[in-house]
Structure 1
Amino acid sequence: METVDIDEAFDAFEERWAPRLLASLNGQELKAAKLEGAFVWHSHPDADELFWVIEGDLTLELEGEPDQQLSDGELGVVPAGVEHRPVADGLAKVVLFEPAGTENTGDADAEDRKREVQTLED
């Protein structure tokens, strides 16, 4: 069994919007990401996406619904197919939980923002 120290995980990288794999289980992946600024509008047609804010503030803008504000220790789940855009006012350290292989840009045509999930050692 492997263990992960979440603080050490976030200290291991600086890049924004470039998720790092923390763990895999039952076809799902747990990823650490540092977010800052606004991402692209996108959806994941077949996958729910969990955002868990470890530190900072994150707004989940949701198409046709009120924005969701998340702060330290709070999490929210964007249901499959819901168009959304994460926006971090300042640096936010976030853990993501979603099916393995889920692209960070979902169905958006945003090649410049697409990132492969890396390990902490990358």
Structure 2
Amino acid sequence: MTPINLAHKLSQISTHWDPHVVADYNDNDVMVVKFQGEFPFHLHEDTDDFFLVLKGEMVMDLEGVSQPVKTGEIFIVPRGVTHRPRAEQECEVLLIEPKGEPNTGDPATAAAKPRM
């Protein structure tokens, strides 16, 4: 039960699209990640997808629409909706997902989620 400095955790990450678990919340992983470029289109059948932009700006591409998400804004993608986050410039994001949920929606293509 100690505070977690997200800026410090993010300073230790040098890769993109590589979420790192910084805390547990109920049965969820709280993660930080850096985005730059495009992530593949994907969906999560059984869970919503939570994004909080901590620094910078990302765009969430959904079927037929693109939505900018800026520093301090939250974006929730409902379960079953195909989506793709992307960022022209590097941005820093906090994610909350159920433990074991693959970031691509598919365990075969998912990134590992190391604990920091």
Q: TM range, normalised to the smaller chain? A: over 0.9
Query: 1:26 maps to which residue?
Result: 26
Q: Considering only aligned residues, what root-mean-square deviation do their CA atoms show, in Å?
A: 1.4
State the distance in 2 between where 1:90 and 1:67 align: 16
Task: Give the alignment of 1:56-67 within 5 angstroms.
Answer: 56-64=56-64, 66-67=65-66
Query: 1:70 maps to which residue?
Result: 69
Give TM-score scaled by structure 2 length: 0.93
Task: Give the alignment of 1:81-96 within 5 angstroms.
Answer: 81-96=80-95
Q: Which amino acid aligns with 2:41?
A: W
Task: Give the alignment of 1:79-118 within 5 angstroms.
Answer: 79-107=78-106, 111=109, 114-118=110-114
Q: Which amino acid aligns with 1:9?
A: K
Runs of 4 or more, structure 1, over 2 Å off, are: none
Instruction: Give the % identical residues.
Output: 33
Gaps of 5+ in 1: none
Query: Could you tell me how far 1:2 is from its partner in structure 2?
Result: 2.9
Q: Which amino acid aligns with 1:20?
A: H
Gaps of 5+ in 2: none
Query: 1:53 maps to which residue?
Result: 53
Query: What per-residue deviation string (whole Å, max 9, x for no partner) do you get for residues 80-106 of structure 1?
Result: 010000011110100011111110111
Q: Does 1:43 align with 2:39?
A: no
